[in-house]
Amino acid sequence: MGRKTGFIISKIAELLATLLVVSLLTFVAFSVIPGDTAQVILGPDASQAQLDALRAELGLDKPLIVQYLNWLGGLFTFNLGKSAAFGVPVASLIAERLPVTIGMSIIALIFVIVISYPLSVLSARRPGRALDQVFSVAGHILFAIPPFVLSLLSIIAASALFSGFRAGQYFRPEDNFPGFIGCLLLPSFCIALPKIAMTFKYMRSSIIEQNASEYVKNAKGHGLTDFRILIKHVLPNSNVSAITVISIVLSDILAGSLIVEQVFNLPGMGRLLLSGIARRDFPLLSGMVFYIAFITVLLYFAADVLGSIADPRIRLK
Amino acid sequence: MKNPSSKIFFTAGFILLGIVLGTFIVSLFWTPYDPSATDPASKLMAPSAMHLFGTDNFGRDTLSRVMDASKYTVFISFAGVAIALILGLLTGIPAGYYGGWTDRGIMLLSNSIMCFPGILLALVAVAVAGPSMYNVVWALGLVFAPTFARVCRIGTMELKQRDYIIHARVMGISSPRIMSVHILPNLLGSLLPATVIGLANMTLFESGMSYLGLGVQPPDASFGKLLADSQSYMTRAPWLVIFPSLMLILYILGLYFVSEGIRVRSQKGGN
């Protein structure tokens, strides 16, 4: 028990150190680049006095270290200041766009798990057979298609097949929840497909490796059914690689949704990021960059901890 | 085991790459039409003998546009990988060679860069520097540098233990010379898989960035930019989307196949 808590504590310390460096990098990057938030808010015609007054109000006249500490404090209280371009708090802008991005990520993850698990089990039963070959080749091809290209092609296919299909519809979750889920299905599937191929590849080789091991042969010798061996022994032992792959897949899904959103015209984080970029809205951009990196770091942290619970040997390394 | 041999992957990969790189080389000297020549009389024409890949909303020949776009896609992927490789060598070798605080500092920086989703970092970097082809190359080079730095660091740490390096140090050869003359050439082999995969991933990123309008700027166009331009016409003129997509997929798939071939071959060698 002591070793387990010790491992988790050391991981948490590592997580906090990483987050601190990430926040520092984000802040420094946005401080050294040219661009003045006060100028963006007031426009090109502002007088020097107005600019100075706004800078004082925003705290931009203080030394950089004080600005950093203020910003860091704001990160924890979700108070990131006002967006330069929209004039509303950054946190509320992000919160407004979260449902689409999170919804898409969750649906895509469900697709990945529900499709790649059965396929990899099926494929690993008889490696090298026709079915396995077909899946593997299909996996390679799907992996090579950028999700936004897949989205464009699927829109073309869908409008050729269904006359009523219209891309770019969106329903707000509070108005029409089934409609909201419905308009996220195709984009999520397009993000998920290459990741299904990736998860399939790792799961398949992990299951094949387990199947060749001594304990599976032993279990077979004992007369256990293949299904029981699979559920009780092989899958639990593949958990560690599954957890690692899924944490990578999730962070890729999140990043992929930034672009795919744009194809389907969905109001998520991706569009917010693009409008922030177009208007050089640094408070908004730095907040978004930090939170997206934060989620990524957290995912890898969760994978480490869950992996150590699934396989206690990891803690010893 | 029963896995396909590396030969199949190499053959398939080189055929696909041959198509794209062949198109790229031909486009340097010849395209069927001027890629930017507009012709109002032949707008949005379906593929025909005159225009094999059809025409776009300005009557430009899609085949010529696709051929021209291969130039930008291929150039950006190679230039970006070159920058990432050089940065990776410059940071990874000293980190592995000196160890200690040099190593810790460089690794902390590169691990932190890897915390940010690559595409986000590249987008913001380009947004800040202003969208242009060269800024895309720099941004992608920076984003991918940590991957190469890791490979260089591990390789250097391994080579450092070898007798010939220890002898070289005892003989009083300077560290920069050991790193550049004795370590660097021996690392190149282990960098090959990362380089090929890097080319594929750069292309994925670049196409996404160009699609969002933050990559190659008009009048130039890469495959991703062609896709962005044709989006409004895609249901009326699907060929505008299909042909650039196909070339993009062939290029990435070819690179993946070659890297898979390298992986399978090295595994066989190890056993």
- Over residues B232-253, the pLDDT tens digits come to 888 788 888 899 999 999 999 9
Confidence band, pLDDT 50/70/90 cuts, at residue B1: very low
Confidence band, pLDDT 50/70/90 cuts, at residue B81: very high
pLDDT tens, B93-121? 999 999 889 898 888 888 888 888 888 88
User: What is the C-alpha to C-alpha distance for residues B94 and B100, in angstroms, rounded to an integer?
Assistant: 10
pLDDT tens, A112-153? 999 998 888 888 888 878 888 888 888 888 888 999 999 999
Average pLDDT over every residue of A18-31: 84
> Considering CB atoms only, which of A22, A262, A292 is closest to B112?
A22
Q: At what angle do helices A2-32 and A282-310 cross, to 10 degrees?
A: 160
Bridge-partner residues for A89, per DSSP? A82
Does B124 contact A at CB distance below 8 Å?
A: yes
Confidence band, pLDDT 50/70/90 cuts, at residue A314: low
> Considering CB atoms only, which of B120, B235, B248 is closest to A292?
B120
User: What is the C-alpha to C-alpha distance for residues A99 and A180, in angstroms, rounded to an integer?
Assistant: 10
pLDDT tens, A247-275? 888 888 888 888 898 888 888 888 888 88
User: What is the C-alpha to C-alpha distance for residues A32 and A44, in angstroms, rounded to an integer?
Assistant: 21
Q: Given an 8 Å threshold on Cβ–Cβ distance, is B112 in contact with A18?
A: yes
Q: Given an 8 Å threshold on Cβ–Cβ distance, is A277 in contact with B211?
A: no
Token digits for A219?
A: 């279990």
**Of A309 and B210, the one with more pLDDT:** B210
Mean pLDDT computed over every residue of chain B = 87
Confidence band, pLDDT 50/70/90 cuts, at residue B200: very high
pLDDT at A306 exceeding the cut of 90: no
Q: Kindly write down the DSSP assignment for every residue of B207-255, as one continuous string.
A: HHHHHTTSSSPTT---HHHHHHHHGGGTTT-THHHHHHHHHHHHHHHHH
Which residues from chain B sit within 8 angstroms of residue A274, using beta carbons? 212
Number of neighbours of residue B107 by Cβ within 10 angstroms: 18
Q: Given an 8 Å threshold on Cβ–Cβ distance, is B124 in contact with A277?
A: yes
Confidence band, pLDDT 50/70/90 cuts, at residue B269: low
**A42 Cβ contact list (under 8 Å, min separation 6):** A50, A51, A54
- Give residue limits of the domains in chain B: 4-24+59-265
Mean pLDDT computed over every residue of chain A = 83
Q: Is A212 exposed, middle or buried (0-12, 13-18, 19+ CB in 10 A)?
A: exposed
pLDDT tens, B158-175? 998 888 988 988 898 888
How close does chain B come to A210, measured CA to CA in Å? 15
Does B116 contact A at CB distance below 8 Å?
A: yes
pLDDT at residue B2, rounded to an integer: 44
**A273 Cβ contact list (under 8 Å, min separation 6):** A258, A285, A288, B120, B123
> How many Cα atoms sit within 13 Å of B93 on the Cβ side?
20
> How many Cα atoms sit within 13 Å of A267 on the Cβ side?
11
> Considering CB atoms only, which of A18, A128, A152 is closest to B245?
A152
> Considering CB atoms only, which of A33, A144, A258 is closest to B119?
A258
> What single letter denotes the amino acid at residue B88?
G
Average pLDDT over every residue of A210-215: 83
- Report cis status (omega within 30 of 0) of the bond before B244: no
CATH superfamily to which A106-275 belongs? MetI-like (1.10.3720.10)
| B4-24+59-265 topology per CATH | MetI-like fold (1.10.3720)
pLDDT at B190 exceeding the cut of 50: yes
pTM over 0.95: no
User: What is the C-alpha to C-alpha distance for residues A67 and A3, in angstroms, rounded to an integer?
Assistant: 40
- Give residue limits of the domains in chain A: 106-275
Backbone angles phi, psi at B55, to 5 degrees: -130, 165
pLDDT tens, A35-50? 667 776 777 777 777 7
% of chain B with per-residue pLDDT over 90: 35
pLDDT at residue B141, rounded to an integer: 94
Provide the ipTM.
0.86
